[in-house]
A and B are shown apart, each in its own frame.
Chain A
């Protein structure tokens, strides 16, 4: 039920059943206790006098994978893509992600970042915010992206991997990634 600004009563005004249902019952059903369904969820604003319940999402894949293609792409190991998360949001969400990463061979950088694969509206290209490295030793490194201004709805995000070329060169690098984590806080 939608929220309605509560009525102001004056002495002598009768309280009708319809008024009680609109201004008390329906409004209470539109508050946080009225909409809460599952423990651990967040309550966020979804518009003027509207709130919504949002569920955090997290996925971890321990298996290591290699990438030899250009970024953004799936890893070479078809059996271990992702992580992938599908979630509902009101137009903005915070993505937190980290992996163990190193460049196994080549001269350019190896990269990874969560890529928005489906969902309503125009969503930003995350290419510039990809985690990238040219180091050959394993390091654990991650980053974040706050997406704003998207249309509300259900969106799927998948971690993508691959190489970008060294200056004037080709994308010949092979990347190695392990202990891959993706967390989404939808707002």
Chain B
């Protein structure tokens, strides 16, 4: 049922069963409490209609070990690898991502980022490093594209890259996603 602006009563109006069912029962079934199904969810205004909430639950995937260490020949194109999350198909996502990263050999730069459904991440979404000492880097962004919500899932995955003839090393990788309805 969709939300309906409740009727305004005046003196001598009779509250009918139909009025109660629409203005009280059906509207109450559109409140946050009625939509709650399990703990840990956030309420987002639905894009399908006004006066409607969707509940979105943050998701996380951690890959601690083994580390990933890619050979330079593999970097003609970025490498897509774990961590990977299958999340509800929402209109947008708030994405947090982190990893320990370093340049093993070559240089100057290595990077990691996050892809949505296989799209190559833009330069501004990449975490670059030129250091040979290990360093934990963390970034976050709201997906710039507006997606079409639906009932299927969407794949959000780490992406790794490096300059030519550069070997990078990544470990302790963390991907956290908050779908936005």
Taking Cβ atoms with an 8 Å cutoff, the residues of A that contact B are: 3, 5-13, 15, 23-24, 27-28, 30-32, 42-51, 90-92, 94, 109, 128-135, 139, 141-146, 148, 152, 187
Contact = CB atoms under 8 A, between A and B. Distances in A.
Contact of B40 (A6, A32, A90, A129): A90
B56 to A, nearest CB: 10
A131 B136 contact: yes
A42 to B, nearest CB: 7
Interface residues of B, number: 44
A144 to B, nearest CB: 5
| Interface of B: prevailing SS | mixed
Contacts of A44: 39-43
9 contacts: A32-B32, A45-B37, A46-B36, A46-B39, A92-B58, A128-B62, A131-B138, A142-B138, A143-B174
A44 B41 CA distance: 6
Contacts of A92: 39-40, 58
B39 to A, nearest CB: 4
Given A50-B39, A92-B58, A146-B176, 18 more contacts: A13-B17, A15-B15, A32-B43, A42-B42, A43-B32, A45-B37, A45-B39, A45-B43, A45-B55, A49-B36, A94-B96, A109-B134, A129-B98, A131-B138, A134-B134, A142-B138, A143-B136, A144-B98
